Amino acid sequence: NRQQTLSEGTKLGIVTQLSSTIGVTIPSNYLIERIPEGEACKELIPEGKGANKSNKLNGNNIPTIPSHGKQHPCRKCYQHFDTGNELFKHLRNQCYPEEIRQQINKLTEHISDDKQREQILKILWKYGKLFDISEPSKIDIILKNAIDTGTHRPVHTPPYRKSNKDQETLRKEIDKLLKNGIIEHSTSPWSSPVVLVKKKDGTTRFCVD
């Protein structure tokens, strides 16, 4: 019965609406209760059963999700749509960056048949977020015990000697990775030097030896 303070964003379960009650599904180590419809229901789901297609803003200026039917949220402006087609049209016309429009149009500009071009455009716009280069992509996972080194002594290799030009390239790349949250400062007895590899297009690939 010891009280605990949960950190912000901690997930306790999933709230779903049933015909006459609100079912709160919580993991087994928590109590499971039925909350009858009424004032409590209005607080949990502001739109209630009478939700219409229009999206209203809650206290955080984020549209509330109507409680009926499957909804398709826009990852940019948080607006919800009843069908995937409505969402795709919205993204295509409003929320996708100009860079995506240019890339998709460039990929289809060689197609002379208008019907075929429109079909390809629909497929590309359906997966338009794959062409979004406005934000860096990264795998948001935490590796746990990826390599079991046992009792082996830490391997520490000092940085390789580099020219002034390579040092400047290295500094810019590190600053960019830090800014985008892909890497972070750390302290460890293990150390591997960075290797800059020239690619075919003349740019530099940032590697770790």
Q: pLDDT (tens digit, 9 = 90+) per residue, 146-172?
A: 777 888 899 999 989 999 999 999 999
Interval 81-128: pLDDT, tens: 888 778 777 777 777 777 788 888 888 999 999 899 989 988 888 787
Report how far apart the first and last C-alpha atoms of the chain are (Å, whole number): 51
The whole-angstrom separation of Cα 85 and Cα 156 is: 54
Interval 45-85: pLDDT, tens: 444 444 444 444 445 444 444 444 567 787 777 788 888 77
Closest by CA position to 101, among listed 126, 120, 125, 70? 125
**Residue spans per domain, the chain:** 96-131, 161-181+193-209
Tokens coding 9: 């964003």
Q: Are 81 and 75 in contact (CB under 8 A)?
A: no
The whole-angstrom separation of Cα 176 and Cα 144 is: 26
Tokens coding 130: 């794959």
SS3 at position 23: strand
Question: Which one is predicted more confidently, 196 or 53?
Answer: 196
Place of tokens 């060689």: 110
